Chain A
Amino acid sequence: QVQLVQSGAEVKKPGASVKVSCKVSGYTLTELSMHWVRQAPGKGLEWMGGFDPEDGETIYAQKFQGRVTMTEDTSTDTAYMELSSLRSEDTAVYYCATASQVRDGMDVWGQGTTVTVSS
């Protein structure tokens, strides 16, 4: 059974970067499609990007292209999401979630990581 455990809450200043980790257990990371989804306070779910295991490419939502980097450390089965040039609108809960294929439903979710951007 796949489980995802994310890193703890972060407080960052505008312009800084944040890197959130997501540790996978019960499965091999490379066989999964790892997605990152965020949710601003009182708002809906927003897809940031996901890994396509079929071709090994990461697809980023256009809104975040150039500012987000999603990586994986296969030696530790840990995925990372780094978001740069933070602004107050990036204050949100960030989730990692896995699916069998990039187009499939995300059936396992991490507990979420709160990122607060404030001067």
Chain B
Amino acid sequence: EAGVTQFPSHSVIEKGQTVTLRCDPISGHDNLYWYRRVMGKEIKFLLHFVKESKQDESGMPNNRFLAERTGGTYSTLKVQPAELEDSGVYFCASSQGQGAVGYGYTFGSGTRLTVV
């Protein structure tokens, strides 16, 4: 079984540019999550999809961030325009059960975003 795939693994962009991160969850996992870790701090929740619907987007920092999940399969997270404070590692995770009840999450390797 393929795991959660994220790409790119690294991205360096200039302030003001646009970047799109992609996540392919495990096939059959309806729940998809985006998290972000900034500079060694805690891993913070961004949002949660159930299939193609946004179940909870309370962690999205501001309207420069846009997440989509086409047809309930892969998801993209677009940052436009990027700011310096957006730098960090963006993790995607998927699970069978909502909220990791009894299952836990399967994480991708993350995308390290550096805004210069």
Q: Do A and B come from one complex?
A: no
List chain B positions with a Cβ less than 8 A from chain A: none
